[in-house]
Amino acid sequence: MKVLVIGGGAREHALCRSLSLDPAVTALHCAPGNAGIAEVAELHRVDALDGAAVAALATGLDADLVVVGPEAPLVAGVADAVRAAGIPVFGPAADAARIEGSKAFAKDVMAGAGVPTARSYVCTTPDEVDEALDAFGAPYVVKDDGLAAGKGVVVTADVDAARAHANSCERVVIEEFLDGPEVSLFAITDGETVLPLQPAQDFKRALDGDEGPNTGGMGAYSPLPWADTKLVDEVLETVLQPTVDEMRRRGTPFSGLLYAGLAITGRGVRVIEFNARFGDPETQVVLARLKTPLAGVLLAAANGTLADLPPLRWSDDAAVTVVIASHHYPGTPRTGDPITGLDAVAAEDAPHAYVLHAGTRQDGDAVVSAGGRVLSVTAAGADLTEARDRAYRAVARIRLDGSQHRTDIAAKAASEA
């Protein structure tokens, strides 16, 4: 099977790594990719938001499957263009990707499907904003309706800050604050059959102890030893399957990866958000534990034949990933700095620990930083303690001037396990 992956972050590196280990994959291509993905896939240049260009590339490569990683191309209709060219594609059509692209749309789908989520108001005027903020009280949760690359949500006790964010957006969703630990649960679906993956937890704040600004994610781990063993079944039944059924009922079937961001509150599970693609950095730890070869699963989702697959097989290992970010991230990051120590990780820590690249590029003989999140150092172990130790041992070998990482990824879960 010839596979083309669209994207170039650590999520796509994790996808490419798993695909490269799948004996069914005979050729692996990625566009635009990064310096790490170049070690397992042939890279191509393409404007990932240009559906016609992606479809032409896939046709030229005679691809049997295209996997679209990030949300922006999905919302822009890249999967539709590839599908229209007659090539199976893993990733939802634009009208289904709206479940991530518009928070108000997602709320509407959840209401239709009876899926538990925070109570909310959609506001377009300052008066509506004030009314909604009043109705819920602090802490305030204010979400830009559209895609905002992880920067659209403000959670604050400060009503002026809440109001300022709301009034800076064209349309906002203001909602009830949900208390409790967060879980990311992904499901692969063909629009009808839903295969949940293993749950993971993401660390969204920049600094240790969940301090500092929100980021795209600074680390993740799986499994969640503290979670109820019935969590996955419960979320399948109350969230994932009803949402997929509702999307089909509306005539906009969702196929691809449905990401449920959940809060485990005292009153039960509530959906915080849906995404229309694999999450980053959770994918790095979820795929580290998946034993079933990936390509066949993604192709079955693309072709509508998931019901025919045997159950997914999972490793009992735990996995931890630690993100190494640039100086200033999540502000405008400094880029172009050389990264060293990657060879030492490959020599000393493989196969248990390995480095997935996010924002990197090759510059002559050097690998240099090229984005906010630069690397995602991933490790497996018999339990979270061992996986953590291995991940941080590898992190310690890597040098990137001014870089930052959290030191407490999975620490609490490991100590309680």
Rule CB under 6 A: which residues touch ligand AMP?
A: 118, 141, 150, 152-153, 155, 175, 177-178, 182, 204, 214, 261, 272-273
Residue 66 or residue 257: which is nearer to ligand AMP going by CB? Answer: 257
The binder of 104, among ligand GLY, ligand AMP, none, by C-beta within 5 to 8 A per type, is: none
Residue identified by tokens 């953590």 is 388
In the sheet that holds 219-222, the strands lie side by side as: 201-202, 219-222, 318-325, 373-381, 353-357
Q: Which does 272 bind (CB under 5 to 8 A by kind): ligand GLY, ligand AMP, none?
A: ligand AMP
Our CB check for ligand AMP shows the closer of 152 and 199 to be: 152
**β-pairing verdict for 65-68 and 89-90:** parallel
Element (H, E) at 362: strand 360-363
**In this structure, what token pair is assigned to residue 167?**
């009034």
> To 5 degrees, how large is the angle CA 82–CA 83–CA 89?
80
Nearest distance, CB of residue 152 and ligand AMP, angstroms: 6
Q: How far is the CB of 42 from ligand AMP (least distance, A)?
A: 33
In angstroms, rounded to a whole number, what is the distance separating the alpha carbons of residues 211 and 176?
Answer: 21
* CB of 372 vs ligand AMP, minimal distance in Å: 15
Q: ω before 281 within 30° of 0 (cis)?
A: yes
- Give the one entry of ligand GLY, ligand AMP, none that residue 182 binds, where binding means its C-beta sits below a cut-off of 5 to 8 angstroms depending on kind: ligand AMP
DSSP string, 168-234: HSSSEEEE----S-EEEEEEEESSS-EEE---BEE--EEEGGGEEEE-S-SEEEE--TTS-TTHHHH
- Asked if residues 356 and 35 have their Cβ atoms less than 8 Å apart, the reply is no
Exposure on the CB side of residue 8, measured as CA atoms within 13 A: 20
Asked if 12 interacts with ligand GLY (CB under 6 A), we say: no
User: What, of ligand GLY, ligand AMP, none, does residue 217 touch, CB below 5 to 8 Å by kind?
Assistant: ligand GLY
Is the torsion defined by CA of 224, 16, 278, 400 positive or negative? positive
Q: Whose Cβ is closer to ligand GLY: residue 214's or residue 385's?
A: 214
What is the DSSP-derived secondary structure letter of residue 140?
A: E
Report the alpha-carbon distance of residue 306 to residue 312 in Å, rounded.
Answer: 11
212 token code pair: 């500092």
For residues 147 to 186, the per-residue mask of contacts with ligand GLY, x marking binding by CB under 6 A and - elsewhere, is ----------------------------------------
Task: Estimate the crossing angle of helix 126-136 against helix 159-168, to 10 degrees.
Answer: 140
Nearer to ligand AMP, 36 or 279 (CB): 279
- With CB under 5 to 8 Å by kind, the binding choice for 212 among ligand AMP, ligand GLY, none is none
C-beta of 152 vs 279, nearer to ligand GLY: 279
The least CB distance from residue 410 to ligand GLY, in Å, is: 15
Residue 55 neighbours by CB distance under 10 Å: 23
The reply to whether 144 sits near ligand GLY by the rule CB under 6 A is: no
Residue number, nearest CB to ligand GLY:
279
> Least distance from C-beta 219 to ligand GLY, angstroms?
10
Query: Nearest-5° angle of CA 309, CA 314, CA 319?
Result: 140
Q: Which is nearer to ligand GLY, 12 or 280 (CB)?
A: 280
Closer CB to ligand AMP, residue 177 or residue 314? 177
* CB of 54 or CB of 358, closer to ligand GLY: 358
Smallest separation (angstroms) from ligand AMP to the CB of 401: 29
- Complex with ligand GLY: residue 218 or 342, whichever CB lies closer: 218
In the region spanning residues 186 to 245, those forming contacts with ligand GLY, defined by CB under 6 A, are 202, 217
Tell me if 217 sits within 8 A of 205, measured CB to CB: no
Total residues belonging to the chain? 417
Min CB(415)–ligand AMP separation in Å: 22
Count of residues that bind ligand GLY according to CB under 6 A: 6
C-beta closer to ligand GLY: residue 73 or 88: 73
User: CB count, 10 Å around CB of 130?
Assistant: 17
Positions in 246-305 near ligand GLY (CB under 6 A) = 275, 279-280, 282
Q: What are the residues binding ligand GLY (CB under 6 A)?
A: 202, 217, 275, 279-280, 282
